[in-house]
A and B are shown apart, each in its own frame.
Chain A
Amino acid sequence: MAQLQQAADARATAQSRVRLELLTELVRKDLKVKYKNSALGFVWSLANPLLYLAVFTLVFTFFLKNRVPWFAVLFMSGFLIWSFFNSATLDATGAVVGNANLVRKVRFPRVVLPLASVGFAGVHLALQLLVFFVFLVPFYPDAFGPQLWLLVPALAVAVVFTVAMSLLASALNVRYRDVQHLLEIALLAWFWLTPIVYPVTVVRDELAGAGLLWMFKFYMANPMTGVVVAAQRAIYAHPVVTADDGGLAQVLPAGGYGFYLQWLGVAAAVSVALLALGIWTFRRLQADFAEEL
């Protein structure tokens, strides 16, 4: 019996290794196909965040007189992670449907399709973060302080949450093609409900001013908010800064890491629960993929 178990374990290990290789192969393919015949190649993937940065800086710093110093740093800290989540989830939604020919004709672990979308977006996030950090070295060296470790759990939760959403969306989209459209709209609203282009303290203070501080909990329960705020705290080193008019401005909640860890914990719990739901849903629906496509 023990021997049989060992053999089964060895087979399972070999199988997951092959799956991992298939996953890398798919991500490699997507990257190659995307940047084939393009002279600038990967540089294009930096264009999108830079464009957003330019537009939001223009609107919020000049038109709306936002008083956040180093707005670009605050914005990019959240936006890069958001755009990873956004593009991975959208891409994954169409991953199974888009590979219909393969799904109908070849047996392979279907789960690699949405995971490849996450991997593809992950490669971009890694490279974008790298470029971002290169810019931070001369322009915002404060980022490289002890608070930077917060980025690690923030990224980990972001990945788990993104994988969960991707599994769920890709499986459901096979049966209900509305998922694609629904998600596109939902993600737009979601983006504005997450403190990326405005500091989270604005929401807190406005709610407190209206006597609705209890609602702030619901605002924070959004896993992406927990992730984004923690990432901002990690890179945008000073929660309280001297504003352009000379006064003190609280951009991020001050007073230790408790606030960030607490909400990151909530985000992690939601993510893990959603991941379980995503795996369960994907397993349940994948038997019918070949038929439904």
Chain B
Amino acid sequence: MADPTIVAAGVGKRFLLHHKRATSLKERLLLHRQSSSEAFWALRDVDLEIGAGHTVGLIGPNGSGKSTLLKVLSGILAPTTGTVTVRGRIASLLELGAGFDGELTGRENIFLNAAILGLSRRETQRYFDDIVAFAELEQFIDNQVKHYSSGQYVRLGFAVAVHVDPDILLVDEVLAVGDESFQRKCLAKIGEFQQRGCTILFVTHALDLVPRICSRGVVLDHGRVLHDGDPVEAAERLRSLLGTGADQSGGGADVGADRPRVTAVRLVDPASGDAKGHFRGGEAMAVDFDVAVPAGAPPVAVRMAVTGPADVPMWVMTSEPLYPGPDGMATVRFTVKELPQVKGIYALAVAVRDPVSNVTYDARRYSEAFLAVGDTDTGVLEVGWTAEQLKHHPENQIER
């Protein structure tokens, strides 16, 4: 790996969690002695060398420090320990359209955003038509951005960012937004960058994307690098981590070895039995739970809720009582024949409990368990709909 483009050596990032944050002088003075702040290491001893032209997927559970690492590498946050050396023009897509001003038109925002990302006015003028074409906003480019749909907004943001012509591209989950055709376009653009020898580091929750486009996968957990190498292994490593990770434990009280508990969860395609992380509405989905039932314990049942945004339970499924094998293990499969027409990231809340008294022995929450994909990017439901004006007045139509 000659001439690495990004070198992070022993990088650590500590945040101070102020229980009461001093944001004013008075508080600063009063709280000075008794300031109750708690150090939290978002990153710990991260060593990373990324050579020119490599594409690295950065994955990990929520709160594992992925975004913090991207921010440190892109120079937005200063590392607490260690050093970061970056060679080349860096573009970080942490949020698309950050810095857009709603009052300005698309055209004006292109120049503003490009300037913020480090492009000169002349360069922007040269790329302008490409940017507009990529965002598919030819008709709307002189409209105020506040009137854009969220899809148009994101497209424009992505279009500007990828035309900055970076040597290094840092991408934070921005591919998850936008409709499918735009996602394809973004992936094609990333492929183009790869061919040009651009170094790419991107954070994603779409685990099957990692082996597909990355030459390397890095798994972060609790701010430490858990795995750095083969992308397929990286995705596997994370799947197993998500299945049994202690950090996924929710309201489960003190779970001793003598109590029934969930030991693993797997989302699979019921037809093939293969692991799968994202589903379309209408597809079949199965969730397998391994449950350890200690000898002599009363029978247990598994109750599972699929929860959507704001932890609203979408639907709840309950199993019959389970009877473990000689090894004390039972596996229960919940199958959804046709997934409802939902979209977005869903969590699973699972409880192992007494089928009669409903006493809960173990409760866990697996956030971001699966991704439901639809044709559009807004809303949570895929609904067939039409819109028409009931009384039509073509004579009042205004040309715009």
Contacts and interface: CB of A to CB of B under 8 A. Distances in A.
Q: Do A and B interact with each other, yes or no?
A: yes
Interface of A: 17-18, 21-22, 25-26, 29, 32-33, 36, 99, 101-108, 175-178, 287-288, 290-291
Contacts of A287: 78
Interface string B67-79: 0000100111110
Nearest to B108: A32
B126 interface: no
A175 B118 CA distance: 27
21 contacts: A21-B120, A21-B121, A22-B118, A25-B112, A25-B116, A29-B104, A29-B112, A32-B103, A36-B104, A101-B98, A101-B99, A102-B99, A106-B94, A107-B75, A107-B92, A108-B116, A108-B117, A108-B118, A176-B28, A177-B23, A178-B24
User: Which of B15, B119, B120 lies at the interface centre, i.e. has the most chain A CB atoms within 10 A of its CB?
Assistant: B120
B81 to A, nearest CB: 14
B133 interface: no
Contact of B76 (A22, A105, A177): A105
A291 B15 contact: yes
A107 B99 CA distance: 11
Interface string B47-86: 0000000000000000000000001001111100000000
A107 B24 contact: no
B359 interface: no
A178 B26 contact: yes
Interface of B: 15, 23-26, 28, 71, 74-78, 90, 92, 94-95, 98-99, 101, 103-104, 108, 111-112, 115-121
B320 to A, nearest CB: 49
A106 B115 contact: no
B108 A18 contact: no
A104 B120 contact: no
A176 to B, nearest CB: 5
Q: Lowest 6 CB-CB distances: which A-B pairs, in order?
A: A25-B115, A287-B78, A105-B98, A105-B95, A22-B115, A102-B99
Contacts of B117: 106, 108
A199 to B, nearest CB: 37
B121 A291 contact: no
Q: Say whether chain A's binding surface is mostly helix, strand, loop, or mixed.
A: helix
B118 A18 contact: yes
B98 A29 contact: no
Contacts of B76: 103-107, 290
Given A21-B121, A178-B24, A106 B116 contact: yes
B120 A291 contact: no
B23 A176 contact: yes
Given A17-B120, A176-B23, A106 B98 contact: yes
A26 B25 contact: no
Nearest to A288: B78
B104 A22 contact: no
Contacts of A25: 111-112, 115-116, 121
Given A25-B112, A107-B90, 9 more contacts: A18-B115, A18-B120, A21-B120, A22-B116, A36-B103, A105-B94, A176-B28, A177-B23, A178-B26
A95 to B, nearest CB: 13
A282 B98 CA distance: 23
Contact of B25 (A22, A29, A178): A178
B143 to A, nearest CB: 13
Nearest to B96: A105
Contacts of A108: 116-118
A177 B25 CA distance: 8
Nearest to B111: A25
B71 A290 contact: yes
B78 to A, nearest CB: 4
A108 B112 CA distance: 12
A103 B71 CA distance: 11
A102 B112 CA distance: 12
A100 to B, nearest CB: 10
B129 to A, nearest CB: 19
Contacts of A288: 78
A32 B104 contact: yes
Contacts of B120: 17-18, 21
A1 B148 CA distance: 52
